[in-house]
Amino acid sequence: MPRVSVVITTYNRPRLLPRAVESARRASSDVEIIVVDDASTDETDEVCRGLHGVRYLRAERNQGVAGARNLGLLASTGEYVNFLDDDDMRLPGTLDEQAEVLDSTPDAGLVYGQAHMGDQDCAPTGSFYPERCLQGDVFWELLEQNFIPCGSVLFRKSCVQRIGLLDKHVAGIDDWDLWVRIAELYPVAALERPVIIWRQSTADSGQGSSRSADLIALAVRMLRRKWLSLPRAQSATADRRRLSWRGFSDTLSEHVMWETTVALIRGDLSLAGKGFTVALRLHPLSLLRTAWKWARFSTLRHLASEVSARHGLSGAKARLKRVRSKTREHRTAAP
């Protein structure tokens, strides 16, 4: 029986798949690689069958990413499991290192690491996420923000046997939901260094994470209807649950503001309207505080200059975050 199983789901992206498979092979000395073809309609089937040393599963009909991951999870035989997207890359030896962490911390349900941010060619851009890896009891922190990159996680298959499979009705945040349910019952460990290269989405890349407004709206529903109804949350005080709702809103309000502003700059009024509608579902004080911060730092002027320069929108977002970080540090240090 292999120590680690890597489940790679794919749909109509055959050119990306061999790179992901090879990165998984280099990440562990004892690995089972399962490729789940989610009923692709192109040459993916032919490419998959040409990959050596890989278990190939093909769904009879499209399941969506969560459903496809479940197929691979059910077929896996390893003690530990990793979900790797077909456009991301695992760094060499990292699955072995994370397996050793789980071996040495038997109470931990999962171990995660940092992700190098990659461009559309999966070349590192110089930044990584998260900047700091929280460990231990992170249940309440995970309710506020998903700081765990999916491909960076190695989790115990036994945890899923206890809490259940991924929810295929929440595609796009199915991994976040799984981490929340694991963290409710188990401590979380971390390897505080990059373990994957995470290919970042763009508005027209076709990646699931490029549907920001839809995913945020889905996360709002999950927090209010499911996560805050979990036994641990229900047994907590009302103040503790309200604090989680406020922290969640604080985290996502700035992201909504960013996406809505970008949509306006691009002239996409439909997407901007969707972002505005989603924003109204968050805590009103979070929105007011975010709007005040954006006005204070002249965000629109900054965006206009960055978009016209070579940095583009992704560079503008990164630089804006650095400006805010430095301003907060200066304000904290001021007498």
Task: Please report, for the chain, the start and end positions of each structural domain, with discontinuous segments joined by +.
Answer: 4-199, 216-333
Q: Token match 């929280």: residue?
A: 134
- CA atoms in the 13 A half-sphere facing the CB of 239: 0
Query: What sign for the dihedral angle of Cα 111, 158, 25, 36?
Result: negative
Supply the pLDDT for residue 297.
52
At residue 27, what is the residue type? Answer: A
Please state, in angstroms and rounded to a whole number, the distance separating the CA atoms of residues 38 and 44.
10
Supply the pLDDT for residue 29.
96
Strand partners, 36: 9, 57
* N residues, the chain: 335
Structural fold of domain 4-199: Spore Coat Polysaccharide Biosynthesis Protein SpsA; Chain A (3.90.550)
Please state, in angstroms and rounded to a whole number, the distance separating the CA atoms of residues 234 and 218.
21
* CA 128, chain centre distance (Å): 13
The per-residue pLDDT for range 70-79, each reduced to its tens digit, is 999 999 999 9
Supply the pLDDT for residue 314.
47
Supply the pLDDT for residue 118.
82
Supply the pLDDT for residue 210.
46
Q: Token match 């990440």: residue?
A: 27
Strand partners, 112: 190
What are phi and psi for residue 87, nearest 5 degrees? -105, 5
Supply the pLDDT for residue 273.
75
Please state, in angstroms and rounded to a whole number, the distance separating the CA atoms of residues 44 and 13.
7
Please state, in angstroms and rounded to a whole number, the distance separating the CA atoms of residues 87 and 239.
41
Q: Token match 């999950």: residue?
A: 222
Strand ranges (E), the chain: 4-10, 31-37, 55-58, 80-85, 89-90, 110-118, 124-129, 154-156, 188-199
Nearest CA among 292, 304, 306 for reference residue 257: 292
Supply the pLDDT for residue 300.
57
Paired tokens of 149: 């990159």
Nearest CA among 125, 121, 118 for reference residue 198: 118
Supply the pLDDT for residue 335.
37
Supply the pLDDT for residue 295.
60
Supply the pLDDT for residue 212.
76
For the whole prediction, is pTM greater than 0.85? Answer: no
Q: Which residues of the chain have pLDDT under 70?
A: 201-211, 280, 283-335
Cβ burial 253-277 (10 Å sphere, 16+ → b, else e): bbbbbbbbbbbbeeeeeebbebbee
Nearest CA among 165, 176, 207 for reference residue 69: 165
Say which DSSP state 280 is in.
Answer: T
